[in-house]
Structure 1
Amino acid sequence: MAPPELLLGLGLALLGAGMGHGEAPPPEAPPIWCYSRLEEAEGGGACSEPLGEEPLPLADCCLNPAYGYRLRPQGHCRACSPGAWGPWEPWSRCSVTCEEGTQRRGRSRAPGGGHGGDSTEWQLRACDTGCCPVPGGWSPWSPWGLCSVTCGEGSQRRQRSCSEPPPRCGGSCGPGDSEDTRGCQGTTATCPAPVHWGPWSPWSPCSRPWGDISCRSAVGQQRRTRECVGHSPGGAACPTDGRDGIAQFRACYNIQNCIMPGNWSDWSHWGLCTPPCGASPTRSRSRECLPILPEYTLTVPNVGSGGVSNVSFWGAARARCPPLMGQRLRLEETRPCRNVRPCPQPEEV
């Protein structure tokens, strides 16, 4: 192998011979420190055996690809041989969000070959992310629909669609609704009351078709009725469970105005102060003379069906109690109220 000095001289001669007459010399690179021995290692290398004590042009040093160099005397050692390319990076995102754009990827090469540093290679390719959203247009409103009721207050609706033109590629019609609602009035301002049962009438007097049963242990019958309110011929009827319809009947004993022995009730609770304010309001309680009902049978068999029915007492009996503080029917006790607030004064007009 020729000595380093001879290779350097040969490199300079070749550079000079390759330069034509009158041609401008290429721009000179900064001088470097050249080494004839390079021990490569992970992350870099170690240079030894320098070629001279002065810096040389990079091209002269790297005529031998086995040499190494430094950009500074104590700098990082670099190889003159071409570095190997690394793997390609993943493709970048498409440059646009719709229609056609581009993607790129790169790879790097380690320092070497006289390049003076890292180098990167790029690739470019076309990409298509689909069509761009195109907005649509609202169609005209449909006519208003029928009112939701035939009487009273209701509502009606109308619709439109996003179809003139229809949107493309995920577009929309923008602000607005596809349905609109407004209030409306039925054909009549007020609605008739729904068909329903009216209240029951009072029970009729307790009686039976033959003979007087007043103050006797003879069972009679009472009747009460009610009306179907709002029913019209051919219209809806009032609901019924088959038992409670227009009329009801019950078994009874007639004790109207019957004279009976009685007992005094317990005292009632004290009532409220009357009047509720002022100088001398009072409250009261009372006892009543209540009749002792006769020991009649309280159930009777049902006619034409199994089971029994309860028997009610009808009428107001005339009770007779032993005199109590001179009273025979009702005893009342009154006392004054305490700590009663005065009545508010009327406001002056």
Structure 2
Amino acid sequence: MLLFVITGVLLCSQQSASQLVSCYMEFDYQTGQCSRFLSAEVEQSDCCLNPVFGFIDETGKCQSCGSAQWSAWSSWSSCTVSCLEGVRQRRRACYGIGECDGKERLQTMPCTELECCPVEGGWSEWSPWQPCSVTCESGVKVRQRSCSNPPPICGGGCEGGSTETYACYTNMVCPTHGSWSSWGSWSSCSSSCKTDGSQKLPIKHRTQTCSNPPPSSNPPGRDCPGPGVETVECPELPFCPVDGSWGSWRSSGVCSVTCGLGLRQQRRECNNPAPRHGGMPCPGEETQHQVCNTHQHCPIDGRWSEWSAWSDCARHGRRIECKKLAGMQRRTRTCEGREYEGRFCEGDIVQNQACYNVKRCRLQKGNWAEWSPWAFCHPPCGSNAEKTRTKVCNTTYPTDYPMLVGLNKDEPATFWGTPLPLCGAGDEVTKNIDQKDLCRNVPDCDDDGKYWYD
């Protein structure tokens, strides 16, 4: 697979302590969208007391209160050609405060939709006409042909349709069967209210006629099925309705968060009076929220840095290159970014391991690896884009070194450093082999020249 990466430093939003913004309780790093609206006209510095919040700036764009992060890569674009070799591209964006790690925002990779290009086929002869589709009045006859003379190649087709029709006439009149018209409107109920204690309910009815169309007499058609009148009982008649009205607001008095901005809930009841006998419910909401400010920063937990590189493999401070003597090496990491009483990092700060120092040692013969995948097109656009692949000499580690060391022979050891590649004749050091080729069907570069950053 061939990929090419567009790199560049992307600067994200910086906070302004005096700017009034619309504050949201969530920011999606994958889409760059704000959600869960909190309040308008909030100081940006107050909104960003919580790093998971986002805000709409003066340009109308959603910004994150947290540190800069890359969005997920977009889906790969369609291949630039429908057959043979082309390329696909995908992108990502930087959201948040500061700079995103790394420089890639555009990637390009080779693609092959079809190994061959489509070739159109030819039609066979038409089949005989089929019988007329009806036994009275007019219908259609049909004949067909197939795309097989010759068959298409590699997904091709035939131009035109595979079916042909023409009208046919039986010189026979078809009978007309009766069909009901639409139902008429319901009549009024036989009474405007129910009688207390009576088991007999009021009724209403509606009618329809056999006239859409009426049945023919010559030749005779069928009458409409079923009755032309429908009678039903009226639903229960209501008492006089009483519409509901709200009571007074009551506050919970508790902010929903202990840091940053949150919400305080107020509640009221529809009991002044409550709706009865089908009356309208109270208009509006039972609860509402007011913004509350704790004036406290939210804690930020510490996070581990990347492990440092392993130290040189040595034995009691002595160099042991290319010797069958086990030594020790170590690597470290630090707990970074903890603020406002956030949690400390869990785990070890230091790691130690037993090792053999085989850096640049002449050990055993190596073997050639397969060609690597093609690298990214460079540059990612234009007719001079090139791709590169490499064949390397795989070094091999000795098999006669003890891999369990220590006083109890229970401490695993590893090899540190890379032996010299020896894939040629004798003890000569072997160099990697590189191969270059042009990328095909690469799109032209945009006029703004922003596909590549030095």
TM-score normalised to structure 1 length: 0.48
- Whichever structure has more helix as a proportion of its residues is 1
Where relative contact order (Cα < 8 A, 6+ residues apart) is larger, the structure is: 2
